Structure 1
């Protein structure tokens, strides 16, 4: 029998009323059970990165293959995301250095992995290291607009007491399990709030890190007792209008001062590390060119070094990167990516 459109609607309505009044029929129950099972399987697949959807974390096995992959860890009951770029030269069984790169406040791992802005993936390929881009604390869809709990800064990560050091510690262990990592050559760098996070890690994970390089980010910790001396590089612009070179936050930051802090100056941050690393003597100028210079303290405990590089212009940006809308032109007198990797290489040979 063929029902008309109105007849089909009446049959559907009658079936719905019967289900509401009498409960689902065995056939409907079976369909609902199958649907619930499929939903549970789909959720499990997404958590484990098995459903092949673009943007979902790759399996642990995929992380060990050349290319850029996304990953997820559960740390203290929270999902934490990260990206890993494995260069073509990677070979299982041959330990390779690792560089952890932390995005700025309000950024994301995808932003820090943008090669046109930071050049870290290209450097990974040419220099032969594994580049890792952790994602900060975020309650936003897609985990964007993320921040790091670097001590006194910044935003929701600081205010909510985000366990970011625990995340990094767990991430390092995870990388060691999945990749051939040179545990003696794990470094950290970051931009702005990410640079501040690098300072905090140097204070709390000095036994696991071989050095840090902070770009446009000063020390935001209130207490710092590293277990061992650690190499530190700072790169900062004299005209930084956000994290002011001589201390404080610029007008842009004070539009919502509750999200930042009264930033420590670049010279004060440098002196803190000079004292922590028990450096002696005066710094030596190791770079002096139009628009940029670097000074290095070499007489430090365990042979580590503390280096401060300054650009005359560039504002709150990554030297050597491209300009961003409304952010001005980064200084081209210095390439931050090349400078930090050369610094780390020099430390590994000490």
Structure 2
């Protein structure tokens, strides 16, 4: 016997099911660089997609660290336990020194986020180019060490407010890696996104003797004082329409609702001017790349053969150029240039320090 539900009852049942579905839907995911609530929403979305695990990572032994693959580790630095990830490419061979790229996540991010190949592609670039990719984790008071920030000087968040010893952490991390891996000490580089880019600028100021060059994406100089022990090469990549760290300076209206967690960001031109002065470069520029949507220029005549280079994209907002993945509700990253290719080509053009 067929049981048929009357049309009116069927429509009522459909409405009830729709209401239950709406109630159970998660809050919309906002930008990572927003308020704490917005960042937590994005983290929840990442968990639902299975991109993260709340289980603490298992640290590998020193012997395992020196084998190809992606590993996690921790260091005790000035009374705090600091975490990091290391990706050793398949081409790594003990006894054959390999370059190292330290990649710093943005404010409110984590080492897992920066190591997410679908977002940044750095692990794939490590494998194809042949460098050891290192993903340090910023300062976080949370049990899972997420929503972390970097003390880059004037920015950002709890790392800045607590006076987190992030430079000491990076110094110790470089030493730790040199003891356990075959590292080319003359080819150690720092790169970063947003607050991580600002951290790269600070490292160029405070650890210039250990770095052959830095690259900052969507992050300007946040230091109040900078006295590098030696000149250091600097690459900046920034979008004209960045709505977080504005190209002409300041925090954009869409950047943070709580501006006390950030700063009145230094402009891209001022950051460029500072590094030209510090590295004793010529104010004149030479074109390196000109194509629809992107330009790169280089300052010549810098001390010790270093370079200062600026790449500007017309669009892309606050993102990693070349990535094919947009943050929900945000500008699609510029495809006019690929940040990973541009950064690695810049590093390869530099002399070994």
The 8 Å contact of residues 238 and 311 in structure 2, kept in 1 or not, is answered as yes
How far apart in 2 are the matches of 1:55 and 1:310?
37
Q: Secondary structure at the match of 2:109?
A: coil
Paired with 2:108 and 2:83, the residues of 1 have a C-alpha distance of 15
Alignment match, 1:99 = 101
Q: Quick one: distance in 2 between partners of 1:251 and 1:56?
A: 40
Aligned partners of 1:268, 1:128: CA distance in 2, in Å?
A: 34
1:135-150 superposed matches below 5 A:
135-150=137-152
The aligned length equals 298
Q: 1:115 aligns with which of 111, 114, 117?
A: 117
- Residue 253 (structure 1) shift: 2.7
Structure 1 residue 252 displacement after superposition: 2.2
Are residues 281 and 177 of structure 1, via their aligned partners in 2, closer, same or farther at CA, if it must alter by over 3 Å?
A: same
Alignment of structure 1 residues 1-350 onto 2, 5 Å: 55-321=57-323, 322-348=325-351
Return the offset for 1:190.
0.1
**Cα distance in structure 1, aligned partners of 2:333 and 2:56:** 32
Displacement, 1:235?
0.1
8 Å CA contact retained: 1:253, 1:260: no
> 2 CA distance for matches of 1:281 and 1:161?
35
Unaligned ranges ≥5, structure 1: 1-52
RMSD: 1.1
Runs of 4+, deviation exceeding 6 Å: none
C-alpha separation in 2, matches of 1:347 and 1:253: 34
Structure 2: gaps spanning 5 or more residues: 1-54
Could you tell me how far apart the structure 1 residues matched to 2:321 and 2:311 are? 11
Give the drift of 1:54: 6.7
Structure exhibiting the larger radius of gyration computed from Cα positions = 1
- Partners of 1:281 and 1:299 within 8 A in 2: no
**TM-score, normalising length from structure 1?**
0.84
Name whichever structure is richer in helix by fraction: 1
Partner of 1:11: none
